[in-house]
Homo-oligomer: A and B are copies of this chain.
Amino acid sequence: MANNRKKRSRKSGMSPGTLVHIGDQKLENSKISLIQYSEAAVSETVADGIEQCAELVKGHKGVTWINIDGVHDVALMEKTGELFGIHSLVLEDIMNTEQRPKMEEHENFLFFSLKMLSLSGKNRSLALEQISMLLGNGLVITFQESPGDVFEPLRERIRQGKGRLRKQKADYLSYALLDAIVDNYFVILENFGDEIEELEESVLKSSGGETVSRIHAIKRKMLVLRRAAWPLRELVNNFEKCESPLLEKSTRIFLRDVYDHTIQIIDSVEVSREIIAGLLDMHLSSISNKTNEVMKVLTIMATIFIPLTFIAGVYGMNFEYMPELGWKWGYLAVMVFMLLAALGMLWYFRRKKWL
């Protein structure tokens, strides 16, 4: 992994609640955007600073969604915490991008920390981005490490006003955001499924070291995915079960749906892990098989020709008194004998099912 990454260990020895960014800084300047909507209207703003957002929230009756790209800016974080009343431990969790996915109930908001997945580059390496989400009264604040996200279709739905979204409160928006992230896990899983199928086909054919390292690579990716997915179930379950007044009853049935999805994701991950474990066994078995076959070829060749070469060697000796050398049919007899010996060997190998 990246060497310029700011590591967890930086925090060691610091006072709790000290804001320190942990992880790669994926963006130079933080970017704040804001969407406000009610059933009737939508407005989108690219905010200059978080103060502007706080003001816009005050006057608004509908739902406000503030999205902040980039969590490395300590000053911005502190300001945000101050303006919206966020506990410094929560701010710390937002800036620590190596957080374990979790959901916490706080006095006036619910806090979610989870991972958004994407595949990048030619060798389809798995990239994790931490998404933090705060659900307050009529307000959702999302924090991302870098701009790109899986929320674009959601924004479109807000703009177009189709479906349920515009009629519901902030809790439904936070559900929809969760749903978008969880749905994206299936895309990743399908990609992995394809990769595993490719690997399965190649395992029996090739026996090169690259197969092993590819198996190892997908295994590691699965570990990363699993580590992101397992706590997700707990997170969604806690959300559904929580008794905060911020969560409307009508939203719970949708959360149950997301919950089913997280179980399905975990299921898929576990099945994939078993298949991958099987692949390695198959690979090892396949190498052993190949070694066995190579050995057979060698053994057959050596076993047939080594005795023959010995016989030829015997009649190549220069003893003065070797009666066979003078016989008229000596040469022919030896050649025929050699032929019979070779055929005998072949018959023996055939009986042993080596041929």
Contacts and interface: CB of A to CB of B under 8 A. Distances in A.
Contacts of A287: 285, 288-289, 292
A270 to B, nearest CB: 9
Contact of A282 (B187, B216, B316, B329): B216
Interface stretch (A31-39, A69-77, A237-245, A303-311): A303-311
Nearest to A307: B305
Nearest to A281: B280
- How many copies of the shown chain assemble into the complex? 5
Given A209-B289, A315-B317, 11 more contacts: A8-B190, A9-B186, A89-B254, A209-B286, A212-B285, A291-B291, A301-B307, A309-B313, A312-B313, A313-B313, A316-B318
A231 B87 CA distance: 28
Given A223-B274, A313-B313, A15 B157 contact: yes
> A162, A176, A213: which has the most chain B beta carbons within 10 Å?
A213
A16 B317 contact: no
Interface string A219-253: 11001000100000000000000000000000001
A294 B153 contact: no
12 contacts: A12-B183, A12-B186, A16-B164, A16-B176, A212-B286, A223-B274, A280-B285, A294-B354, A298-B302, A301-B307, A313-B316, A319-B324
B11 A183 contact: yes
A267 B11 CA distance: 19
Contacts of A290: 292
Contacts of A281: 280, 284
B8 A186 contact: yes
A165 interface: yes
B310 A318 contact: no
Contact of A100 (B16, B99, B204, B264): B264
A16 B312 contact: no
A238 B305 CA distance: 73
A344 interface: no
A2 to B, nearest CB: 12
A274 B223 CA distance: 8
Contacts of A324: 319
Interface string A255-291: 0010010011001000100110010111111111111
